[in-house]
Amino acid sequence: MLGGRSPVRPERVGIVVVYPRLLGLYGDRGNGIAVQHRAEARGIPTSLVEVEPGDPIPEQGDLYLVGGGEDRSMTAAARLLDAQAGLRRAVEAGAGCLAVCAGLQLLAREYVGHDGSVRPGLGLLDVTCGRLPGPRAVGEVVARSEIDGSALLGFENHQGDAVLGPLARPLGVVAVGRGNGHDRLEGARQGRVIGTYLHGPVLVRNPALADWLLAQAVGHDLAPLADARVERLRRERLRAAPTLRARRLRRG
């Protein structure tokens, strides 16, 4: 069964992946596998539920994962999320949530659709999403995490921006890439909710971020967990970022 959200460690951490067929661009559904792997490597039992269109979103999960999608998929997902309040109710009750790219926009106060119209989001992040001027933001991103100071890595491919309101704080400060398109910031965080433009999947590339979300779900700090394969991947992606600032982050 899905775990609760009391300060006591849940009997089983419930991970809910929302509409992966619609919002699974660039392997974002792998974020659920990444969290499950890091939990069970520590002996923390989990359940992973993938909710597809037509299925109700369970409200008793501990961590909800919303991925990215193309314009039509995002529009379909927005209609489904408007039609049922499971995700909103779960997050408002204290569940954690990671929303990537289109997912970030869907959780924002409002966003601009592909037709230029302004549309209301779920309002779970104090963020307003418009459109980036000029070409799409495409390529590797390196930022410094505002959670723990580590290098935050990912791949972006989007035309959206993100302007943070007073209740939201940035996820990272960009050294390489576009991120939110303003003030060298990447993503947003508000309570247990994180939004980002980073694919990768982002929780595979950034184990510290995965562990932060997992720690919120279990209600306590986690023992360190080394993963040589992930560290090799991070070193490779840092080497691929062709700037002095990225090299400085790697040395840090």
Token code pair at residue 213: 């979300």
Within 10 angstroms of residue 236's Cβ, the number of other Cβ atoms is: 10
Residue 136 assigned as binding residue: yes
57-to-66, 121, 173, 185 alpha-carbon distances in Å: 12, 17, 33, 31
Q: Which residues are catalytic?
A: 101, 199
The alpha carbon of 245 is separated from its chain's Cα centroid by a whole number of angstroms, namely 24
**Positive or negative: CA dihedral 113, 209, 147, 179:** negative
Residues contacting residue 15 through CB under 8 Å, at least 6 positions apart: 32, 35, 36, 46, 47, 48, 49, 61, 62, 63, 65
Binding-site residues, in ranges, read 136
Q: Which residues line the annotated binding site for substrate?
A: 136
